Structure 1
Amino acid sequence: MNKPVPLESIPVKNTIAGHYGRFVHGSRSTLAFWEITAGSESPVHQHPHEQITYVAEGVFEMVVNGHKYTLRQHDTLVIPPDTPHGGRALEDCKLIDSFCPAREDYKF
């Protein structure tokens, strides 16, 4: 049986420099809560997961398939599976990413 879990009780994982995430995994999806330090970059990469990004705080510059977007608080962006993307925090940011299917590589 599933029980509510306070976000603060989920361990923080430093996946790449300046990217600190807490991950909630279901059987078919992953929800990632990120705190990203201003100036930190996520190199261009791609994965088989559909990704939906929501900016809770800050400004994040995202490049998706060669197109640059400046995402501000309360902006969302859908990134289709296998699409090259990366980004850079222009300010300290809090992002929420939804991934489907679940990110097995974040279950560490």
Structure 2
Amino acid sequence: MDAKHRGSLTTDKRVSRAKGIDRVTLTYDKDNMMCYFYLEKGSKLEMHTHVQSQSGIVIKGHIHFIKGDGQILDLHAGDAYYFASNDPHGSNILEDTELIECFAPSRDDYKD
């Protein structure tokens, strides 16, 4: 198996993705990647796209994902979401929030 495993959340170094948005890359191979995100209340991620499809689940907190067409996904703990390849999206963090996200294929920029 060609996957990389990154240890537990408590020992992994967080990497800043943007102001108030930290990431821990948990595991990946060339086809799939799983990351844990820590998002501070009031932080934002600007509208962006990437070739990878993205699925995730809110572990705790409250987040608004904004889609390219203006639709807002109002998500709380236990809610899951999906963005297709090149589907524009951004976010506003309404409470301290934690997410688990999966990307397919893996993101080279998240391979620490």
Q: Which runs of 4+ in 1 moved over 3 A?
A: 1-4
Aligned-residue RMSD, C-alpha: 1.7
Alignment-derived partner of residue 14 in structure 1:
16
1:105 paired with 2:109, answer: yes
Alignment-derived partner of residue 46 in structure 1:
49
**Residue-by-residue CA offset, 1:22-61 (whole Å, 9 max, x unaligned):** 0022231111101100000010000000000210000000
Q: Which runs of 5+ in 2 are unaligned?
A: none
- Output the CA distance in 2 between the equivalents of 1:3 and 1:92: 26
**Residue-by-residue CA offset, 1:79-102 (whole Å, 9 max, x unaligned):** 000010000110000011110000
Residue identity in the other structure for 2:64 = E
User: 1:10: how far off?
Assistant: 1.9
* TM-score (normalised: structure 2): 0.89
Alignment-derived partner of residue 94 in structure 2:
90
Q: Which runs of 5+ in 1 are unaligned?
A: none
1:78 paired with 2:82, answer: yes
Residue identity in the other structure for 2:24 = R
Residue identity in the other structure for 1:10 = D
1:61 paired with 2:64, answer: yes
SS in 2 for 1:105: helix
